[in-house]
Chain A
Amino acid sequence: MTVSGIIGGLLLVLGAAFLLLAGLGLVRMPDLFNRIQAGTKATTLGTLLTLAGAACLHPEWTLKLLLIGLFILLTNPISSQVLARAAHRIGAAKSAKTTLDRLADDTEERP
């Protein structure tokens, strides 16, 4: 077992742990917006750590993995934002804990 192999393995486990947290967040959060929050953040870091781990185990893949990481960083938040916007536009249910919704207030004011 080489040093890079050990580091790579640790990164893979850490990445998987964040992906597990994302899944747990999807189950535990009360409404769609909070679920998206948990999903986006934990999957982004989880996937990046998994990619970094794979790069340690297979150094010859590093460039491709770097490229995949870049695309995930750019596209993951965009897809979440579009989902959240669409959900808000069709009036998706919000948790009873929600204290304020300025977007709903502002869209009501407009004719």
Chain B
Amino acid sequence: MRKASSIALLFATLFIFWLLLNNSLAGDVLLIGIVATLLIALLFRGGRSPVSGFRPTPRAVAATFGYLIFFLAELVRSNLHIARVVLSPSLPISPAIVKVRTRLKSPMGRLLLANSITLTPGTLTVEIDGEWLYIHWVNAEATDIDAATAQIVAGFERYLEVMYG
């Protein structure tokens, strides 16, 4: 039963993508879309998508909007940071690979956390090992695990914890 609903969800998502891309409701377009998306949904039924593991509660939906706003602000801040570093003649960097820990349990939550970290100022996820993440930091401000976790992970974890747990 769970498998059937996950296939249906994947099928629906892919079919909506297909409709958006084609921008047409002609019979042949619909037929090809149904066949192709059904095939993909069956082949990848064990796979993960951003909706798998998402908690369907109002709090989680609110957290998603909070997360998106926080993320976009961080993305802009991140680019201004890179611009400042790249444009200054002295190239002010002091890189380090630090270790941080996440409280998130679900694989999708961890993936989104790693992605978010990569797009925030000066940090890049290099490796994930269970609850440990190894982060390359252009301007390492803290090298011990707790301080680095508070600075890099805590901001996103607050939202992702509510969304995925």
Residues of A with Cβ closer than 8 Å to B? 18, 21, 24-25, 28-31, 33-34, 36-38, 40-42, 44-45, 63-64, 66-67, 74, 76-78, 80-81, 84-85, 88, 94-95, 97-104, 106
Q: Are B124 and A33 in contact (CB under 8 A)?
A: yes
| B97 CB to nearest chain A CB (Å) | 5
Q: Are A74 and B75 in contact (CB under 8 A)?
A: no
Chain A residues with CB below 8 A from B140, complex form: 99-100
Q: Are A81 and B82 in contact (CB under 8 A)?
A: no
A-B contact pairs, 22 of them (CB 8 A): A18-B83, A21-B82, A24-B86, A24-B87, A30-B91, A31-B95, A33-B126, A41-B82, A42-B82, A45-B75, A77-B118, A78-B111, A81-B114, A81-B124, A95-B95, A97-B95, A98-B96, A99-B96, A100-B97, A100-B143, A103-B97, A104-B97
Q: Are A34 and B126 in contact (CB under 8 A)?
A: no
Residues of B with Cβ closer than 8 Å to A? 17, 20-21, 23, 50, 75-76, 78-79, 82-83, 85-87, 91, 93-99, 111, 114-116, 118-119, 122-127, 129, 134, 136, 138, 140, 143
Among the listed A18, A29, A40, A103, which residue makes an inter-chain contact with B99, where contact means beta carbons less than 8 Å apart? A103
Question: Known: A37-B136, A67-B21, A98-B95. Contact between A88 and B126, CB under 8 A?
Answer: yes
Cβ-Cβ contact count across A and B, 8 Å cutoff: 127
Question: Known: A85-B126, A104-B97. Contact between A25 and B115, CB under 8 A?
Answer: no
Among the listed B75, B96, B126, which residue makes an inter-chain contact with A41, where contact means beta carbons less than 8 Å apart? B75
Interchain CA distance A45-B45 in the complex, whole Å: 32
Across the interface, name the chain B residue whose C-beta is closest to A26: B86
For the complex with contacts A30-B91, A42-B79, 16 further pairs of A-B residues with Cβ separation under 8 Å are: A18-B79, A25-B86, A29-B93, A33-B124, A34-B93, A34-B136, A37-B123, A42-B82, A42-B83, A44-B119, A78-B111, A81-B126, A84-B124, A95-B95, A99-B143, A101-B97
